[in-house]
Structure 1
């Protein structure tokens, strides 16, 4: 009788799990590492290793196209878009800023950063006229933040702008940087952008990109070692946000690796410490949920929260994903090592 009850409870558990995931299929297989994706024209667009850039149609997965952005075998961990084009920047120096036209996929190298310390961690458009990106700092530890202005065909340095406007530059601490893990350690709402750092210090940098006014806030996140800190952030509005990360070298560790804010990043509250699936590279809030529902992914898991990040349930042991994005309220696309997959959720 005990065995029967055990089997019954196991079956019920599987049924509950299956009700969460309706389907989960791989829509792209390739020799590539993908850490940045965008959605446009009912397609998922990606940039990755070997200078590869392309798309997969979300309805008909057989419709695919891939091009190379450079003859050099560059690694891309950034991708962003406005109404006319995609932009991607390779990691490592020299860093090339590529523009890919949406009409014909023609590629132009619009700018090159030759600084030896150039290593661009994330790229995001805040509107059609302005994109924001940032790199690891030079020896002076000034935050290297740049604005891409497509209409002017220009890249403007934040420090130059702030000096012109009379504001001080932002100094990072020794051993503080950011992680190019999923193109999501930068977020924006309204006129504000937030940047999450990690390493020996894991802080939030908040900047109003119209006035260049900035604030830097400490966090209770795990930090102190080079692989520790925040890896990904997302904001539902100008007040509520979530941050995830941990320690890349100790992926099972799950203490002080998730936090939320209710005041625009000034203060952060640790959530689910010791009660989550561990190291996480990307978090995305479900559209129109106001922050209540969110999904996250790490090298070893996919997890879900339905209570503003306070508790988390691992919904898949699928490995090798680095980045995710909501397609709609029931569908999430994942990308990572050698694949792109599509998950449909049932609520």
Structure 2
């Protein structure tokens, strides 16, 4: 979407100190999710890391507690392999004018990044050596297309989505890990609403769960919607989502699914001077129907992630703060007021967030 303009990942299990740290974090999260709000003596908190950049980092791929990739404005791509103590600038050569909004990482060496924008500004790059070298695997040549985000089902199969072209969202597909891309036929894509588009705010407007299921979040139109495909993007069904809509700045900005059935949607109105009531919703039937959160976040949120190994706990982030749910998205409470755009968690209990002014943080107990 021009106004702003998760994926399943394979990760390595931490060892040694990582196991101890993960166990400690897991214990803290277990306590946090078990106690009532007034009983939390010291909840987990974000520990800021020094990235050495001022770019706004809306793309985030957490591999494990030690390894993460971030991508953002000014063509910046960074990688850490030591828990955020140091960050290596692995930006693709000649990318300084690009706006990276999504990064999907398979491990510490292999990753794919998406640049957004009209026409040739929308591009995809892939690295197989930790960012030492990059290959441009896709460059959009249609001036009507504007790619917002991407997701992968596994190490080979993935999708990227563009705002509507000829009245329908356009979907790119890869079957070789992002080395080559093909535009899918749009016969199975429902018609877009007037003004409908995706928000390139956190790399989470397109997310996958399992081998074939994928969901697309939309906004900017009369109704906020989530589109679902169970065949890797060939056919789609739509569902209205009860979050703020009816304006180009409103809609669903991010999705997270812990399995094929249970999902979270967050969003609102991204303008800081506008309120965002009802800025979260939940589904328990794979996105066919959505219910509003009874106690939503207090403001617009652009990123959301389930906490690892939990059926009820998740984090939502935005420029005005971080919120926690312990009841699968029905109610949320604020943990932190720092500004973040995106969040991601890993099976070894690592949670990361990233945002403006080069901000990256890791969740600590």
* Both structures adopt the same fold (TM-score exceeding 0.5): yes
- The within-5 A match list for 1:191-210 is 191-200=212-221, 201-210=223-232
Deviation by residue 1:186-225 (Cα, 9 ceiling, x = unmatched): 1212211010111113111111235823211122222110
- The within-5 A match list for 1:146-185 is 146-150=172-176, 153-159=179-185, 167-185=187-205
Q: Quick one: structure 1 residues 329 and 87, their matched pair in 2 at CA, closer, same or farther if it must change by over 3 Å?
A: closer
Q: Say which SS state the counterpart of residue 42 (structure 2) adopts.
A: helix
1:115 deviates by 1.3
Output the CA distance in 2 between the equivalents of 1:115 and 1:266.
32
1:40 deviates by 3.2
Picking from 291, 294, 301, the partner of 2:314 is 294
Does residue 91 of structure 1 match 2:116? yes
Output the CA distance in 2 between the equivalents of 1:56 and 1:103.
10
Deviation by residue 1:149-174 (Cα, 9 ceiling, x = unmatched): 32694211112xx6xxxx53432111
TM-score (norm 1): 0.85
Deviation by residue 1:253-289 (Cα, 9 ceiling, x = unmatched): 232211000111011000135x532100001011111
Deviation by residue 1:83-127 (Cα, 9 ceiling, x = unmatched): 672111211131222111235631111221121133211111111
Find the counterpart in structure 2 of residue 116 from structure 1. Answer: 143
Output the CA distance in 1 between the equivalents of 2:204 and 2:244.
18
Output the CA distance in 2 between the equivalents of 1:236 and 1:172.
27
1:235 deviates by 0.6
Q: Say which SS state the counterpart of residue 338 (structure 1) adopts.
A: helix
RMSD of aligned residue pairs (Cα, Å): 2.5
1:60 deviates by 6.1
Output the CA distance in 1 between the equivalents of 2:233 and 2:274.
41
Structure number with greater CO (CA < 8 Å, separation at least 6) is 2
1:39 deviates by 2.4
Find the counterpart in structure 1 of residue 159 from structure 2. Answer: 132
Picking from 225, 242, 247, the partner of 2:264 is 242
- The within-5 A match list for 1:272-291 is 272=294, 276-290=297-311
Picking from 16, 26, 42, the partner of 1:19 is 42
Q: Say which SS state the counterpart of residue 101 (structure 2) adopts.
A: coil
Output the CA distance in 1 between the equivalents of 2:124 and 2:57.
18
More strand per residue: 1 or 2?
1
Does residue 59 of structure 1 match 2:80? no
Which runs of no fewer than 5 residues in structure 2 stay unpaired? Answer: 1-36
Output the CA distance in 2 between the equivalents of 1:261 and 1:172.
22
1:342 deviates by 2.9
Q: Say which SS state the counterpart of residue 139 (structure 2) adopts.
A: strand
Bigger radius of gyration among the two: 1
